[in-house]
A and B are shown apart, each in its own frame.
Chain A
Amino acid sequence: MSVDIYKINPEFRDIMPKDIIDLEDNATWHATATKNRGISDLPDKKEILEEHSLCAGCPEAAALRYILTALPIPEDTIIVNSTGCTSLMFPHIALHTVHSLFGNQNAVASGIKRTLDWRFPDKTKDVIVLAGDGATIDIGLDYTLQSWFRQEKITTICFDNEVYANTGGQESGSTPKGQVFKMAPKGKVFDKVPMWELAVTSGCQYSVKLTASAPKKVAKVLREAVLVARELGPTYIHLYTPCILEIGLAANEGLWEMKEQDKERFESFRYVSPEAEEYLKECKAKGIL
């Protein structure tokens, strides 16, 4: 059983560090949890994300914590990443993950999902893609859309900070029009790419745009997206996680920025296909949502 890979042989408990012992004793694995996992576990349960190397106060780090704490079955969840700031957190996620290249995340995830379905026909294995706006919308656009056309049963999450942050603040397709960034010294000349809409026209069963300002909302959306992907087909979450460094905010101003954008560029967008709507009702009835 997957959760067994976190069980420490008693002979070695005395030499293992606390964070590994806690993963066995105090993490909320699906197999051992008494209730649905969620944000309420954050204060007193062992988190799946260990210490990370992002900037102090980076909303990405917070958003990843919300997502990991809401996974329906973390011990059977694979997360595929791509190059960018998020890559710096991935080694510290206590799950099986892949980085691979810049932009090929949905292609790698497609291969993984197809193989897991082939190798474990009687088991549920969730596959999630988590990448930045550059990876999802620019360099990886073809692979993102094609995986949706093919109806791959994976959840794609875009951490949109509207800039290439890891490489030093260059304009991305997701940067708002007019914004001055490196490689757009006169300001960006075209509009922010409406990825959440492309998701709908490209076959996603579920597409939601939001900011990471409300943890419980992020957790709910993540859970819905994963359940729908598992059952029906591709789902998409477009999440605003501002780069406080590149837009000149202090470490404690990220939340404020996200709340601001809840009313503007990231005013909530939600598409749920009729089939998904039906299925989510069932999930509620079953109490898994």
Chain B
Amino acid sequence: MTKRSDMTAEKNWSGQKIVSPDYLLFEAPREKHFMTGSEVVKEAMKRCTVDASVSYPITPQSEAAHLIGELWAEGYIGTYFRGENEFGVMSEVAGCAMAGSRTVTTTSGPGTLRAMENFPMWSGTRIPCQLILMARGINSPLTIQPDNLEVSFLLETGCMIWYAENVQELFDMTIAAFIVAEKPDVHIPIITAVDGFFVSHTRESVMLPADDIALPPYDPYAAPLPPIDSEMPPGRFLRDPFVMKSNYISYATHASWQWEVRSAADRSRKYAKHFLKGLVHTTGDDVADVVFVACGTASHQAKEAHRELAKLGVTCKVVKLRTIRPFPTEELIEATKGAKYIFVPEFNVTGWLYNEVVKALYGRSESEVIGKPRVAGGMSMPVEEILKEVANFVKID
């Protein structure tokens, strides 16, 4: 059984060499592997010097949760257990993080909604834990299929939300997530989302650094609030006190507290820019009539469409959003300049990303924004269908 006190300045408790985030993400030599999103989550967490993880089964994230458990059994993670349900799990995660652990958990669809009350509590208590979300349908009748409607429920929880496109980005993003979330001026929870199955169960090639190097450990004393461990003043400290005017004195505290949580998310931009190489990523023609704005698998489908449109002589560009909270408004406006048509393909019925895009571009863009194609309930988004939508606006011969 490894002990946290086994850690030295050079090696973490599992004997991995401690390296800088930049080295791990950008400089360390990488080798090609062929694996699923679930498997790559294990590889990422293995290199993150994680203190704690709590799990609960729900498709499609269960395999990732099993594999994190294996890391604990192998001595890479300090403490791990199966909670009673997602509400309990997210509260157990809060306890671990408040007490000073670098903490990760995973969930999907109905689990996310069951746990919902916890997420604004997470951000309000300024814990930098990571939730790896493998999006799944949440409607009745029950579905386990990929559909990311659940993400719309998380948009205003005060947590950061990043969206990974594929297995490779999931690996890099879940490592960068801890680094950015733990910055003292950020220090709020981060939700790293992928579309369930499309990423969790899809096997593809991925480049990984060696597994004998890892991130420096989390320092709970370089944080905006003292950890709950009785080791840092003030001795009289309630992490999330009642400050309601009815009992005490201040509405202003509540207002200011909530603005501070939003400010913290905003401060993450400059760090995310560095560790994600940009809040958005653009591929295709610099000047394009057709611009796809998408995140996750939808941006993958859009890239497939871009390739076909190029063959047909249509100028086209794909703007992939890597961060949803904070929303990359300025980057989006810059990237869509001069577009005739902006298509927002989505894997949900309400078009929450379309709403975000329209809100961001309102009064600042001439482009026509089209919330299509939109599929739901786990349907795929064949490139053929995307091309049909585009053909309704652009002449294709």
Contact = CB atoms under 8 A, between A and B. Distances in A.
Indicate if A touches B (C-beta under 8 A).
Answer: yes
A99 B229 contact: no
B52 interface: yes
A94 B235 contact: yes
Interface in B240-297: 240-242, 247-248
A93 interface: yes
Contacts of A91: 238, 241-242, 248
Contact of A115 (B3, B52, B84, B125): B52
A98 B229 CA distance: 11
A115 B79 contact: yes
B88 A142 contact: yes
Interface stretch (B95-103, B191-199, B376-384): B95-103
Interface string B92-131: 1111111111010000000000000110010001000000
Main secondary structure of the interface of A (DSSP, over half): helix
A118 B84 contact: no
Q: Which of B52, B95, B121 is most buried by chain A, counting CB atoms within 10 A of its CB?
A: B95
B240 to A, nearest CB: 5
Contact of A118 (B78, B91, B93, B118): B78
User: Which 8 pairs, one residue from A and one from B, show the smallest C-beta to C-beta distance?
Assistant: A111-B95, A107-B91, A104-B91, A115-B99, A146-B84, A94-B236, A111-B96, A111-B92
A267 interface: no
A191 interface: no
B360 interface: no
B88, B118, B235 — most chain A CB neighbours (10 Å):
B235
A101 B231 contact: no
Nearest to A76: B230
B151 interface: no
7 contacts: A2-B231, A23-B236, A90-B242, A107-B95, A108-B98, A115-B95, A142-B84
B165 to A, nearest CB: 32
Contacts of A87: 242
A146 B88 contact: yes
Contacts of A23: 235-236
A114 B237 contact: no
Contacts of B230: 2, 5, 75-78, 95-96, 125
Most chain A CB inside 10 Å of its own CB: which residue of B5, B89, B99, B101: B99
Contacts of B89: 107
Contacts of A108: 91-92, 94-95, 98
Interface in A27-77: 50, 53, 75-77
A263 interface: no
A112 B118 contact: no
- Range of interface residues on A (Cβ < 8 Å): 35 or more
A100 B91 contact: yes
B233 interface: yes
Given A88-B242, A97-B237, A115-B99, A120 B229 contact: yes
Interface residues of B, number: 49
A5 B233 contact: yes
Nearest to B117: A101
A116 B54 CA distance: 15
B83 interface: yes
Contacts of B236: 23, 50, 92-95
B384 to A, nearest CB: 48
Contact of B238 (A53, A98, A115, A142): A98
A115 to B, nearest CB: 4
A150 B91 contact: no
Nearest to B231: A2
Given A50-B236, A90-B241, A116 B229 contact: yes
Interface in B3-18: 3-5
A109 interface: yes
Contacts of A119: 4, 51, 78, 99-101, 229
B95 A110 contact: yes
A111 B94 contact: yes
B388 interface: no
A107 B235 contact: no
A100 B85 CA distance: 17
Interface in B213-239: 226, 228-239
A5 B235 contact: yes
Given A95-B236, A107-B87, 12 more contacts: A2-B231, A23-B236, A100-B125, A111-B92, A114-B96, A115-B100, A116-B99, A118-B78, A118-B79, A119-B100, A121-B3, A121-B4
Given A107-B92, A119-B229, A101 B121 contact: yes
Given A76-B230, A107-B88, A142-B88, A112 B3 contact: no
A271 interface: no
B101 A118 contact: yes
A226 to B, nearest CB: 15
A122 interface: yes
A143 interface: yes
A145 to B, nearest CB: 9
A117 interface: yes
B153 interface: no
A96 B78 CA distance: 23
Contact of A96 (B52, B83, B226): B226
B96 A100 contact: no
A117 B248 CA distance: 35
Nearest to B84: A146
B26 interface: no
Contact of B228 (A53, A92, A96, A110): A96
B96 A95 contact: no
B81 interface: yes
Given A111-B91, A146-B88, A118 B238 contact: no
A154 to B, nearest CB: 10
A6 interface: yes
A118 B93 CA distance: 14
